[in-house]
Protein backbone atom coordinates (compact mmCIF):
# COMPACT_ATOMS: atom_id res chain seq x y z
CA UNK A 1 0.00 0.00 0.00
CA UNK A 2 1.42 3.36 -0.95
CA UNK A 3 1.97 6.18 1.54
CA UNK A 4 -0.68 8.15 -0.24
CA UNK A 5 -3.21 5.38 0.20
CA UNK A 6 -2.30 4.96 3.86
CA UNK A 7 -2.75 8.67 4.44
CA UNK A 8 -6.02 8.55 2.63
CA UNK A 9 -7.28 5.73 4.82
CA UNK A 10 -6.22 7.53 7.96
CA UNK A 11 -8.13 10.57 6.78
CA UNK A 12 -11.19 8.44 6.14
CA UNK A 13 -11.03 6.94 9.63
CA UNK A 14 -10.72 10.40 11.11
CA UNK A 15 -13.57 11.69 9.01
CA UNK A 16 -15.78 8.83 10.12
CA UNK A 17 -14.76 8.74 13.76
CA UNK A 18 -14.44 12.39 14.67
CA UNK A 19 -18.13 13.30 14.49
CA UNK A 20 -19.05 10.28 16.57
CA UNK A 21 -16.50 11.17 19.22
CA UNK A 22 -17.68 14.76 19.16
CA UNK A 23 -21.24 13.66 19.71
CA UNK A 24 -20.33 11.42 22.60
CA UNK A 25 -18.32 14.14 24.23
CA UNK A 26 -21.03 16.70 23.62
CA UNK A 27 -23.33 14.52 25.67
CA UNK A 28 -21.56 15.89 28.71
CA UNK A 29 -22.60 19.39 27.81
CA UNK A 30 -26.26 18.91 26.94
CA UNK A 31 -28.99 19.81 29.37
CA UNK A 32 -30.62 16.83 30.96
CA UNK A 33 -34.04 16.18 29.46
CA UNK A 34 -36.25 14.42 31.95
CA UNK A 35 -38.80 11.76 31.09
CA UNK A 36 -41.79 14.07 31.50
CA UNK A 37 -40.17 16.48 29.02
CA UNK A 38 -40.05 13.87 26.26
CA UNK A 39 -43.59 14.00 25.05
CA UNK A 40 -42.57 15.60 21.77
CA UNK A 41 -39.68 13.22 21.30
CA UNK A 42 -41.97 10.20 21.52
CA UNK A 43 -44.46 11.62 19.04
CA UNK A 44 -44.61 9.47 15.94
CA UNK A 45 -43.54 12.33 13.69
CA UNK A 46 -40.35 12.67 15.73
CA UNK A 47 -39.15 9.15 16.38
CA UNK A 48 -36.44 7.48 14.36
CA UNK A 49 -38.32 4.20 14.45
CA UNK A 50 -41.32 5.57 12.58
CA UNK A 51 -39.16 5.91 9.48
CA UNK A 52 -37.11 2.77 9.99
CA UNK A 53 -39.16 0.43 7.83
CA UNK A 54 -39.44 3.00 5.05
CA UNK A 55 -35.72 3.63 5.18
CA UNK A 56 -34.92 -0.06 5.08
CA UNK A 57 -37.13 -0.72 2.06
CA UNK A 58 -35.73 2.29 0.32
CA UNK A 59 -32.16 1.22 1.01
CA UNK A 60 -32.88 -2.11 -0.57
CA UNK A 61 -34.42 -0.55 -3.64
CA UNK A 62 -31.90 2.21 -4.15
CA UNK A 63 -28.78 0.17 -3.63
CA UNK A 64 -29.85 -1.77 -6.69
CA UNK A 65 -29.59 1.50 -8.60
CA UNK A 66 -26.75 3.34 -6.90
CA UNK A 67 -23.20 2.43 -6.04
CA UNK A 68 -23.31 2.95 -2.28
CA UNK A 69 -25.18 1.58 0.68
CA UNK A 70 -25.73 2.12 4.38
CA UNK A 71 -27.21 4.78 6.59
CA UNK A 72 -29.50 2.57 8.64
CA UNK A 73 -27.12 1.04 11.13
CA UNK A 74 -27.54 -2.51 9.91
CA UNK A 75 -26.64 -4.90 7.12
CA UNK A 76 -28.60 -7.53 5.33
CA UNK A 77 -27.96 -10.62 3.34
CA UNK A 78 -29.24 -11.91 0.07
CA UNK A 79 -29.96 -10.24 -3.18
CA UNK A 80 -31.36 -6.76 -3.61
CA UNK A 81 -33.04 -7.47 -6.86
CA UNK A 82 -35.66 -4.79 -7.37
CA UNK B 1 -31.49 -12.15 -10.45
CA UNK B 2 -29.60 -8.98 -9.88
CA UNK B 3 -26.33 -9.44 -8.08
CA UNK B 4 -25.67 -6.62 -5.68
CA UNK B 5 -22.32 -5.16 -4.85
CA UNK B 6 -23.22 -5.72 -1.26
CA UNK B 7 -26.02 -7.90 -0.17
CA UNK B 8 -28.72 -6.07 1.69
CA UNK B 9 -32.34 -6.88 2.04
CA UNK B 10 -35.32 -5.21 3.45
CA UNK B 11 -35.88 -7.85 6.08
CA UNK B 12 -32.55 -7.60 7.76
CA UNK B 13 -32.24 -3.89 7.39
CA UNK B 14 -35.76 -3.38 8.64
CA UNK B 15 -35.19 -5.40 11.75
CA UNK B 16 -31.81 -3.85 12.36
CA UNK B 17 -33.21 -0.41 11.84
CA UNK B 18 -36.09 -1.08 14.17
CA UNK B 19 -33.78 -2.54 16.74
CA UNK B 20 -31.49 0.42 16.68
CA UNK B 21 -34.14 3.05 16.37
CA UNK B 22 -36.08 1.52 19.19
CA UNK B 23 -33.35 2.55 21.53
CA UNK B 24 -33.66 6.26 20.97
CA UNK B 25 -35.31 7.37 24.11
CA UNK B 26 -34.78 4.16 25.95
CA UNK B 27 -37.49 3.47 28.54
CA UNK B 28 -39.70 6.21 27.24
CA UNK B 29 -39.99 4.52 23.87
CA UNK B 30 -39.70 0.79 23.56
CA UNK B 31 -40.54 -0.65 20.19
CA UNK B 32 -41.59 -4.03 21.46
CA UNK B 33 -43.78 -2.84 24.30
CA UNK B 34 -46.90 -4.15 22.61
CA UNK B 35 -47.96 -6.97 20.34
CA UNK B 36 -48.46 -5.87 16.78
CA UNK B 37 -49.24 -7.30 13.38
CA UNK B 38 -48.92 -5.55 10.08
CA UNK B 39 -49.10 -6.08 6.38
CA UNK B 40 -47.73 -3.99 3.59
CA UNK B 41 -48.11 -3.97 -0.15
CA UNK B 42 -45.67 -2.19 -2.38
CA UNK B 43 -45.81 -1.75 -6.13
CA UNK B 44 -42.76 -0.70 -8.05
CA UNK B 45 -42.44 0.21 -11.72
CA UNK B 46 -39.63 1.90 -13.56
CA UNK B 47 -38.81 3.41 -16.92
CA UNK B 48 -37.35 0.08 -18.08
CA UNK B 49 -40.73 -1.55 -17.48
CA UNK B 50 -39.49 -3.66 -14.61
CA UNK B 51 -42.34 -4.32 -12.18
CA UNK B 52 -42.12 -5.62 -8.61
CA UNK B 53 -44.94 -6.50 -6.26
CA UNK B 54 -43.98 -6.95 -2.60
CA UNK B 55 -46.32 -8.43 0.00
CA UNK B 56 -44.90 -8.12 3.49
CA UNK B 57 -46.22 -9.39 6.82
CA UNK B 58 -44.78 -8.54 10.23
CA UNK B 59 -45.72 -9.94 13.60
CA UNK B 60 -44.29 -9.10 17.00
CA UNK B 61 -44.99 -11.24 20.03
CA UNK B 62 -44.50 -9.56 23.38
CA UNK B 63 -43.25 -11.88 26.09
CA UNK B 64 -42.83 -11.07 29.75
CA UNK B 65 -39.30 -9.73 29.51
CA UNK B 66 -38.55 -10.21 25.88
CA UNK B 67 -40.07 -10.14 22.43
CA UNK B 68 -39.97 -12.10 19.23
CA UNK B 69 -40.36 -10.46 15.85
CA UNK B 70 -41.10 -12.23 12.59
CA UNK B 71 -41.00 -10.87 9.09
CA UNK B 72 -42.06 -12.41 5.80
CA UNK B 73 -41.86 -10.95 2.33
CA UNK B 74 -43.05 -12.42 -0.94
CA UNK B 75 -41.95 -10.61 -4.08
CA UNK B 76 -42.82 -11.12 -7.69
CA UNK B 77 -40.44 -9.52 -10.14
CA UNK B 78 -41.20 -9.12 -13.84
CA UNK B 79 -38.29 -8.18 -16.09
CA UNK B 80 -39.26 -7.36 -19.65
CA UNK B 81 -38.26 -9.22 -22.76
CA UNK B 82 -34.97 -8.53 -24.47
CA UNK B 83 -35.77 -6.91 -27.79
CA UNK B 84 -32.68 -8.06 -29.66
CA UNK B 85 -30.73 -11.28 -30.19
CA UNK B 86 -28.68 -12.63 -27.30
CA UNK B 87 -25.13 -11.38 -27.37
CA UNK B 88 -25.87 -8.24 -29.32
CA UNK B 89 -24.92 -4.88 -27.97
CA UNK B 90 -28.59 -3.97 -27.68
CA UNK B 91 -29.18 -6.93 -25.44
CA UNK B 92 -26.37 -5.83 -23.18
CA UNK B 93 -27.83 -2.38 -22.89
CA UNK B 94 -31.25 -3.72 -22.24
CA UNK B 95 -30.24 -5.38 -19.02
CA UNK B 96 -28.19 -2.72 -17.37
CA UNK B 97 -30.78 -1.96 -14.72
CA UNK B 98 -32.37 -5.36 -14.24
CA UNK B 99 -30.62 -8.61 -14.79
CA UNK B 100 -32.07 -11.67 -16.39
CA UNK B 101 -30.63 -14.64 -18.18
CA UNK B 102 -30.82 -14.61 -21.97
CA UNK B 103 -31.77 -18.16 -22.70
CA UNK B 104 -34.29 -19.79 -24.96
CA UNK B 105 -37.00 -17.28 -25.70
CA UNK B 106 -35.56 -13.98 -24.52
CA UNK B 107 -38.36 -12.20 -26.31
CA UNK B 108 -40.76 -12.97 -23.47
CA UNK B 109 -40.92 -11.49 -19.98
CA UNK B 110 -38.78 -13.08 -17.29
CA UNK B 111 -40.64 -13.65 -14.03
CA UNK B 112 -39.13 -14.64 -10.73
CA UNK B 113 -40.37 -15.00 -7.17
CA UNK B 114 -38.44 -14.30 -4.03
CA UNK B 115 -39.34 -15.27 -0.47
CA UNK B 116 -37.73 -13.71 2.57
CA UNK B 117 -38.07 -14.63 6.20
CA UNK B 118 -36.51 -13.15 9.28
CA UNK B 119 -36.88 -13.94 12.93
CA UNK B 120 -35.36 -12.04 15.82
CA UNK B 121 -35.32 -12.29 19.59
CA UNK B 122 -34.83 -9.30 21.85
CA UNK B 123 -34.32 -9.19 25.58
CA UNK B 124 -33.16 -6.16 27.44
CA UNK B 125 -30.64 -4.40 25.28
CA UNK B 126 -29.59 -7.49 23.38
CA UNK B 127 -31.01 -8.68 20.10
CA UNK B 128 -30.16 -11.58 17.82
CA UNK B 129 -31.66 -12.51 14.49
CA UNK B 130 -31.56 -14.84 11.51
CA UNK B 131 -32.46 -14.00 7.94
CA UNK B 132 -33.14 -16.15 4.89
CA UNK B 133 -33.88 -15.16 1.31
CA UNK B 134 -34.54 -17.66 -1.43
CA UNK B 135 -35.08 -17.43 -5.17
CA UNK B 136 -34.33 -19.60 -8.17
CA UNK B 137 -30.68 -18.60 -8.55
CA UNK B 138 -29.80 -16.96 -5.24
CA UNK B 139 -29.99 -17.97 -1.59
CA UNK B 140 -28.92 -15.50 1.06
CA UNK B 141 -28.59 -16.14 4.78
CA UNK B 142 -27.44 -13.98 7.64
CA UNK B 143 -27.03 -13.99 11.40
CA UNK B 144 -26.78 -10.79 13.35
CA UNK B 145 -26.58 -9.47 16.88
CA UNK B 146 -26.59 -6.09 18.55
CA UNK B 147 -26.24 -4.64 22.02
CA UNK B 148 -27.39 -1.22 23.14
CA UNK B 149 -27.11 0.70 26.38
CA UNK B 150 -28.64 3.87 27.79
CA UNK B 151 -26.08 6.20 29.27
CA UNK B 152 -25.96 9.57 31.00
CA UNK B 153 -29.35 9.28 32.59
CA UNK B 154 -30.97 8.02 29.40
CA UNK B 155 -29.78 11.06 27.46
CA UNK B 156 -27.51 8.97 25.28
CA UNK B 157 -27.92 5.54 23.77
CA UNK B 158 -25.06 3.64 22.19
CA UNK B 159 -25.61 0.56 20.07
CA UNK B 160 -23.04 -1.83 18.66
CA UNK B 161 -24.06 -4.34 16.02
CA UNK B 162 -22.52 -6.96 13.79
CA UNK B 163 -23.70 -9.41 11.20
CA UNK B 164 -22.36 -12.13 8.97
CA UNK B 165 -24.04 -13.08 5.72
CA UNK B 166 -23.33 -15.88 3.32
CA UNK B 167 -24.95 -16.10 -0.08
CA UNK B 168 -25.03 -18.99 -2.53
CA UNK B 169 -25.30 -17.97 -6.17
CA UNK B 170 -26.20 -20.46 -8.87
CA UNK B 171 -26.92 -18.70 -12.15
CA UNK B 172 -29.53 -20.37 -14.30
CA UNK B 173 -28.76 -21.26 -17.90
CA UNK B 174 -27.68 -18.32 -19.99
CA UNK B 175 -26.79 -18.47 -23.69
CA UNK B 176 -24.01 -15.89 -23.74
CA UNK B 177 -22.35 -16.21 -20.35
CA UNK B 178 -21.12 -19.28 -18.51
CA UNK B 179 -20.77 -18.18 -14.91
CA UNK B 180 -20.60 -21.15 -12.59
CA UNK B 181 -21.87 -21.46 -9.04
CA UNK B 182 -20.33 -18.96 -6.71
CA UNK B 183 -20.74 -17.38 -3.30
CA UNK B 184 -20.47 -14.12 -1.43
CA UNK B 185 -19.76 -13.40 2.21
CA UNK B 186 -20.50 -10.11 3.95
CA UNK B 187 -19.20 -9.10 7.36
CA UNK B 188 -20.75 -5.99 8.85
CA UNK B 189 -20.10 -3.83 11.91
CA UNK B 190 -21.84 -0.70 13.09
CA UNK B 191 -21.80 1.72 15.99
CA UNK B 192 -24.74 4.07 16.43
CA UNK B 193 -25.16 6.78 19.06
CA UNK B 194 -28.42 8.62 19.71
CA UNK B 195 -28.46 11.75 21.85
CA UNK B 196 -31.43 13.61 23.32
CA UNK B 197 -30.31 17.20 22.94
CA UNK B 198 -33.35 19.19 24.03
CA UNK B 199 -37.04 18.36 24.63
CA UNK B 200 -37.51 19.06 20.91
CA UNK B 201 -34.30 17.79 19.35
CA UNK B 202 -32.69 14.41 18.85
CA UNK B 203 -29.47 13.59 17.04
CA UNK B 204 -28.21 10.26 15.79
CA UNK B 205 -24.81 9.49 14.36
CA UNK B 206 -23.43 6.18 13.18
CA UNK B 207 -20.59 4.52 11.38
CA UNK B 208 -20.79 1.31 9.40
CA UNK B 209 -18.23 -1.00 7.88
CA UNK B 210 -18.80 -3.81 5.41
CA UNK B 211 -16.28 -6.32 4.16
CA UNK B 212 -17.56 -8.19 1.11
CA UNK B 213 -15.85 -11.20 -0.45
CA UNK B 214 -17.03 -13.17 -3.44
CA UNK B 215 -19.03 -12.68 -6.62
CA UNK B 216 -20.04 -9.02 -6.89
CA UNK B 217 -20.93 -8.60 -10.53
CA UNK B 218 -23.87 -9.62 -12.62
CA UNK B 219 -23.27 -13.16 -13.93
CA UNK B 220 -25.68 -12.57 -16.82
CA UNK B 221 -24.17 -9.33 -18.06
CA UNK B 222 -21.69 -8.96 -20.90
CA UNK B 223 -19.50 -5.94 -21.46
CA UNK B 224 -18.47 -4.66 -24.86
CA UNK B 225 -14.67 -4.55 -24.60
CA UNK B 226 -11.92 -4.74 -27.20
CA UNK B 227 -14.48 -5.00 -29.98
CA UNK B 228 -16.33 -8.01 -28.60
CA UNK B 229 -18.68 -9.07 -25.80
CA UNK B 230 -17.02 -10.52 -22.71
CA UNK B 231 -18.50 -11.34 -19.29
CA UNK B 232 -18.55 -8.60 -16.71
CA UNK B 233 -15.85 -8.88 -14.08
CA UNK B 234 -15.65 -6.97 -10.78
CA UNK B 235 -13.07 -7.42 -8.02
CA UNK B 236 -13.89 -10.15 -5.48
CA UNK B 237 -13.14 -8.02 -2.45
CA UNK B 238 -14.67 -4.74 -1.37
CA UNK B 239 -14.43 -2.66 1.77
CA UNK B 240 -17.33 -0.29 2.23
CA UNK B 241 -17.76 2.28 5.01
CA UNK B 242 -20.12 5.08 5.71
CA UNK B 243 -20.93 7.74 8.24
CA UNK B 244 -24.42 9.06 8.77
CA UNK B 245 -25.90 11.90 10.79
CA UNK B 246 -29.59 12.42 11.48
CA UNK B 247 -31.26 15.34 13.22
CA UNK B 248 -34.93 15.34 14.23
CA UNK B 249 -36.40 18.68 15.24
CA UNK B 250 -39.91 19.26 16.55
CA UNK B 251 -41.41 22.45 15.19
CA UNK B 252 -44.25 24.66 16.35
CA UNK B 253 -47.75 23.92 15.11
CA UNK B 254 -47.36 20.15 15.53
CA UNK B 255 -44.85 19.48 12.82
CA UNK B 256 -41.34 18.10 12.62
CA UNK B 257 -38.34 18.39 10.36
CA UNK B 258 -35.90 15.52 9.86
CA UNK B 259 -32.59 16.04 8.16
CA UNK B 260 -30.02 13.37 7.39
CA UNK B 261 -26.64 13.22 5.73
CA UNK B 262 -24.58 10.20 4.70
CA UNK B 263 -21.03 10.01 3.47
CA UNK B 264 -19.83 6.78 1.88
CA UNK B 265 -16.63 5.51 0.35
CA UNK B 266 -15.08 2.20 -0.59
CA UNK B 267 -11.87 0.77 -1.94
CA UNK B 268 -13.27 0.66 -5.47
CA UNK B 269 -12.91 4.45 -5.27
CA UNK B 270 -16.62 5.19 -5.18
CA UNK B 271 -17.42 8.11 -2.92
CA UNK B 272 -20.91 9.42 -2.37
CA UNK B 273 -22.95 12.02 -0.50
CA UNK B 274 -26.61 11.84 0.38
CA UNK B 275 -28.82 14.52 1.90
CA UNK B 276 -32.42 13.90 2.86
CA UNK B 277 -35.18 15.95 4.44
CA UNK B 278 -38.65 15.10 5.65
CA UNK B 279 -41.30 17.51 6.87
CA UNK B 280 -44.23 16.00 8.76
CA UNK B 281 -47.31 17.96 9.72
CA UNK B 282 -50.43 16.95 11.64
CA UNK B 283 -53.52 17.82 9.66
CA UNK B 284 -55.85 16.85 12.47
CA UNK B 285 -55.33 14.73 15.55
CA UNK B 286 -54.50 11.21 14.29
CA UNK B 287 -53.63 12.16 10.71
CA UNK B 288 -50.39 13.59 9.49
CA UNK B 289 -48.81 14.21 6.11
CA UNK B 290 -45.14 13.91 5.23
CA UNK B 291 -43.21 15.49 2.40
CA UNK B 292 -39.78 14.26 1.51
CA UNK B 293 -36.85 15.07 -0.71
CA UNK B 294 -33.56 13.18 -1.16
CA UNK B 295 -30.51 14.20 -3.17
CA UNK B 296 -27.67 11.82 -3.98
CA UNK B 297 -24.40 12.04 -5.88
CA UNK B 298 -21.47 9.68 -6.37
CA UNK B 299 -18.16 9.35 -8.20
CA UNK B 300 -17.10 6.43 -10.36
CA UNK B 301 -15.15 3.30 -9.54
CA UNK B 302 -11.56 3.09 -10.70
CA UNK B 303 -12.34 0.39 -13.27
CA UNK B 304 -15.35 2.00 -14.90
CA UNK B 305 -14.94 3.22 -18.46
CA UNK B 306 -17.40 4.19 -21.15
CA UNK B 307 -15.36 2.07 -23.54
CA UNK B 308 -12.70 -0.55 -22.96
CA UNK B 309 -9.87 -0.70 -25.49
CA UNK B 310 -9.00 -4.32 -24.72
CA UNK B 311 -10.85 -7.31 -23.33
CA UNK B 312 -8.73 -7.05 -20.18
CA UNK B 313 -10.46 -3.82 -19.22
CA UNK B 314 -8.75 -2.08 -16.32
CA UNK B 315 -6.48 -4.36 -14.28
CA UNK B 316 -8.55 -7.28 -15.55
CA UNK B 317 -11.86 -5.74 -14.45
CA UNK B 318 -14.63 -4.44 -16.69
CA UNK B 319 -18.16 -3.41 -15.97
CA UNK B 320 -21.37 -2.54 -17.74
CA UNK B 321 -23.01 -1.47 -14.51
CA UNK B 322 -23.94 2.19 -14.45
CA UNK B 323 -23.78 2.13 -10.64
CA UNK B 324 -20.02 2.09 -11.05
CA UNK B 325 -20.14 5.43 -12.91
CA UNK B 326 -20.69 9.03 -11.92
CA UNK B 327 -24.30 9.35 -10.89
CA UNK B 328 -26.75 11.81 -9.34
CA UNK B 329 -30.35 11.22 -8.33
CA UNK B 330 -33.40 12.86 -6.80
CA UNK B 331 -36.32 11.42 -4.89
CA UNK B 332 -39.59 13.07 -3.93
CA UNK B 333 -42.08 11.47 -1.62
CA UNK B 334 -45.41 12.16 -0.01
CA UNK B 335 -47.17 10.09 2.64
CA UNK B 336 -50.34 10.12 4.68
CA UNK B 337 -50.61 8.39 8.05
CA UNK B 338 -53.81 7.58 9.93
CA UNK B 339 -54.03 6.50 13.56
CA UNK B 340 -57.61 5.37 13.99
CA UNK B 341 -57.32 5.23 17.77
CA UNK B 342 -56.52 8.92 17.96
CA UNK B 343 -59.25 9.61 15.46
CA UNK B 344 -61.53 8.08 18.09
CA UNK B 345 -63.13 5.63 15.74
CA UNK B 346 -65.67 3.91 17.97
CA UNK B 347 -65.59 0.62 16.13
CA UNK B 348 -64.02 -2.44 17.72
CA UNK B 349 -60.94 -3.67 15.86
CA UNK B 350 -60.74 -0.51 13.78
CA UNK B 351 -59.76 1.58 16.78
CA UNK B 352 -56.56 -0.42 17.06
CA UNK B 353 -55.49 0.07 13.49
CA UNK B 354 -53.13 2.36 11.69
CA UNK B 355 -53.00 3.06 7.97
CA UNK B 356 -50.30 4.51 5.80
CA UNK B 357 -50.18 5.43 2.11
CA UNK B 358 -46.94 6.49 0.51
CA UNK B 359 -45.86 7.49 -2.99
CA UNK B 360 -42.28 8.14 -4.10
CA UNK B 361 -40.85 9.29 -7.40
CA UNK B 362 -37.19 8.60 -8.15
CA UNK B 363 -35.09 9.68 -11.10
CA UNK B 364 -31.38 9.81 -11.81
CA UNK B 365 -28.88 11.19 -14.31
CA UNK B 366 -29.07 8.08 -16.49
CA UNK B 367 -32.54 8.98 -17.69
CA UNK B 368 -33.90 6.38 -15.33
CA UNK B 369 -37.02 6.92 -13.27
CA UNK B 370 -39.11 4.80 -10.94
CA UNK B 371 -42.33 4.91 -8.94
CA UNK B 372 -42.98 3.39 -5.52
CA UNK B 373 -46.52 3.04 -4.21
CA UNK B 374 -46.93 1.61 -0.74
CA UNK B 375 -49.94 0.90 1.44
CA UNK B 376 -49.62 -0.40 4.97
CA UNK B 377 -51.96 -1.57 7.69
CA UNK B 378 -50.89 -2.18 11.28
CA UNK B 379 -52.85 -3.61 14.17
CA UNK B 380 -52.07 -3.35 17.88
CA UNK B 381 -53.27 -6.13 20.16
Domain ranges of chain B: 7-379
Rounded to whole angstroms, the Cα distance separating B39 from B359 reads: 17
CB neighbour class for B287 (10 Å; exposed up to 12, middle 13-18, buried from 19): middle
pLDDT, averaged across chain A:
69
* pLDDT reading at A76 higher than 60: no
Please state which architecture CATH assigns to domain B7-379.
Beta Barrel (2.40)
Q: B29, A82: Cβ pair inside 8 Å?
A: no
B36 touches chain A (CB under 8 A): no
Residue-wise pLDDT for B234-260, tens only, equals: 999 999 999 999 999 999 999 999 999
Q: A73, B17: Cβ pair inside 8 Å?
A: yes
Which residues 23-62 in chain A show a CB within 8 A of chain B? Answer: 23-24, 26-28, 30-33, 35, 37-49, 51-62
Lowest mean pLDDT among A33-42, B99-108, B262-271: B99-108
Confidence of residue B23 (pLDDT cuts 50, 70, 90): very low
Q: A67, B3: Cβ pair inside 8 Å?
A: no
Q: Minimal Cα distance from B210: which residue of A?
A: A75
Residue-wise pLDDT for B119-129, tens only, equals: 999 998 899 99
The whole-number pLDDT of residue A19 equals 58
Q: B12, A76: Cβ pair inside 8 Å?
A: yes
B60 touches chain A (CB under 8 A): no
Mutate to test the interface with A, among B9, B366, B371 (most CBs of A within 10 A): B9
Q: B296, A45: Cβ pair inside 8 Å?
A: no
Q: Minimal Cα distance from A49: which residue of B?
A: B21
Confidence of residue A80 (pLDDT cuts 50, 70, 90): very low
Residue-wise pLDDT for A12-24, tens only, equals: 655 656 555 555 5
In Å, how far is A2's CA from the nearest CA of chain B?
A: 14
The whole-number pLDDT of residue B115 equals 93
Query: Is ipTM beyond 0.90?
Result: no
From chain B, the residues in CB contact with A43 under 8 A are: 250, 256
Among candidates A19, A43, A80 on the partner chain, residue whose Cβ is nearest the Cβ of B9 = A80
Q: A27, B195: Cβ pair inside 8 Å?
A: yes
The whole-number pLDDT of residue B33 equals 56
From chain B, the residues in CB contact with A55 under 8 A are: 13, 17
* pLDDT reading at B335 higher than 90: yes
In Å, how far is B224's CA from the nearest CA of chain A?
A: 21
The whole-number pLDDT of residue B127 equals 93
B153 touches chain A (CB under 8 A): yes
B355 touches chain A (CB under 8 A): no
Amino acid sequence: MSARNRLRRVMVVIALGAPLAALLLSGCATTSVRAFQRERLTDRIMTFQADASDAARRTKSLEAREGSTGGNGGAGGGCACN
Amino acid sequence: MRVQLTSKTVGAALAAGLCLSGTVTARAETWFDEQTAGCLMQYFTDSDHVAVRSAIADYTVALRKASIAMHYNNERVVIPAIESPPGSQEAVDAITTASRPISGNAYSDFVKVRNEFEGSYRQGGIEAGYYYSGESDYIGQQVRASVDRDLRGDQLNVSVGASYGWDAIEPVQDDDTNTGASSKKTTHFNVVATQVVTPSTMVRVGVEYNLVNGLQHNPYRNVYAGGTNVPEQHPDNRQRRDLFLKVNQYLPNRSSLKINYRFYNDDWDIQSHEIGTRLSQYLVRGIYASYEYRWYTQGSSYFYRNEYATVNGIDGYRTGDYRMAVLASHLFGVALDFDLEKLEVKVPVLDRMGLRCNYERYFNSNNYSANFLTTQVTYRF
